[in-house]
């Protein structure tokens, strides 16, 4: 296209922009899911899809029916805020329809499961019990190279 006159480049630029806008609107219309919720900005069908998945985690209340004692023990001490499943794995791997179907995870051989939360890091609140260099030295004076659960009970870690 060649237009005469000093404003030809502006006409071409406007034509390109209008073309791009048109292409954008067409593509947007085609690829937007039909259930799109413009008010809260999410795909409406996603709700049904997510609720169709089977729950893997039951929460601490789901353990109480069969493990009342442990639940009471945990509730009294400073690990009360923890989820059983953060240490023992998902309920769905252990119980199905009220019957035990598989062993829950019991890690009685590594310190990693404790250091996962207690490893010292500057980003943690100062009053959180952290296993920093000083504490490691104190602990080694008691007994070097022992795993955490040799001295701390996981459900009641009170030293
Ligand atoms: C901080 C990690 C942690 C949390 C949180 C935790 N446990 Fe445990 N649990 C362990 C470890 C480690 C053992 C193995 C203890 C051992 O061998 O000395 C264990 C053992 C058990 C056992 C085997 C029997 C026993 O008492 O030794 C059961 C049952 C159990 N836990 C249930 C639970 C339930 C229910 C909860 C939540 C109310 C829970 N646990 C929370 C780490 C945890
Ligand atoms: C329907 C009953 C039932 C529920 C609910 C249940 N358990 Fe168990 N659990 C058992 C039975 C039965 C055993 C084996 C006997 C025992 O140690 O008491 C067991 C054993 C365990 C053990 C020891 C390791 C093993 O597999 O033998 C742990 C740890 C455990 N359960 C954790 C949990 C956690 C955490 C929850 C909640 C997310 C939970 N359980 C929910 C019935 C249940
Ligand atoms: C999922 C995170 C998490 C894991 C895993 C965890 N802890 Fe804790 N621990 C906590 C929290 C949260 C507290 C309470 C902090 C508070 O009260 O400010 C705590 C408190 C403690 C305390 C202080 C108790 C007191 O009475 O002074 C000790 C000791 C401790 N944990 C040891 C352990 C040991 C040993 C393990 C491994 C078996 C472990 N923790 C695993 C989160 C965790
Ligand atoms: C040999 C026994 C022993 C072992 C092993 C051990 N602890 Fe301790 N822990 C103690 C004693 C005793 C205390 C209380 C004295 C102190 O504060 O230093 C304590 C205190 C703590 C505290 C401070 C609690 C608070 O309220 O400030 C934390 C956190 C802790 N231990 C975490 C761990 C972790 C994580 C491991 C594994 C890497 C571990 N401990 C291994 C005996 C032990």
Q: Kindly list the averaged pLDDT for each block of 10 residues, start to end, along the chain of length 159.
A: 79 97 97 95 95 91 88 78 90 91 90 89 91 83 81 84
Distance of CA 147 to the CA centre of its chain: 27
Q: Which residues contact 38 (CB under 8 A, 6 or more apart)?
A: none
Q: Which residue is associated with the tokens 């009170």?
A: 158
The sign one gets for the Cα dihedral 135, 137, 139, 142 is negative
The sign one gets for the Cα dihedral 138, 139, 143, 145 is negative
Residue 119 CA: nearest ligand 4 atom is 35
Cβ of 150 closer than 6 Å to ligand 4, yes or no, is yes
How far apart, in whole angstroms, are the C-alpha atoms of residue 113 and residue 154?
10
Q: Is 98 left (phi over 0), alpha (psi -120 to 50) or beta?
A: left
Cβ of 65 closer than 6 Å to ligand 2, yes or no, is yes
Gap between the terminal Cα atoms of the chain: 84
Determine the pLDDT at residue 12: 94
Determine the pLDDT at residue 72: 79
The sign one gets for the Cα dihedral 117, 118, 119, 124 is positive
Cβ of 88 closer than 6 Å to ligand 3, yes or no, is no
């Amino acid at each position: 296209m060649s237009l005469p006159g000093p404003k030809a480049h502006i006409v071409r630029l406007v034509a390109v922009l209008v073309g791009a806008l048109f292409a954008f609107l067409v593509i947007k219309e085609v690829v937007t899911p039909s259930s799109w919720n413009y008010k809260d900005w999410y795909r409406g069908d996603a709700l049904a899809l997510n609720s169709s998945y089977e729950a893997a985690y039951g929460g601490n209340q789901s353990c109480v029916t069969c493990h009342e004692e442990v639940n009471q023990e945990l509730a009294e001490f400073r690990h009360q805020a923890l989820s059983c499943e953060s240490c023992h794995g998902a309920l769905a791997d252990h119980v199905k329809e009220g019957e035990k179907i598989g062993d829950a995870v019991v890690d009685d051989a590594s310190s990693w499961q404790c250091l996962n939360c207690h490893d010292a890091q500057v980003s943690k609140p100062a009053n959180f019990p952290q296993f920093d260099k000083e504490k490691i030295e104190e602990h080694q004076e008691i007994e070097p190279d022992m795993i955490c659960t040799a001295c701390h009970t996981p459900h009641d870690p009170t030293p």
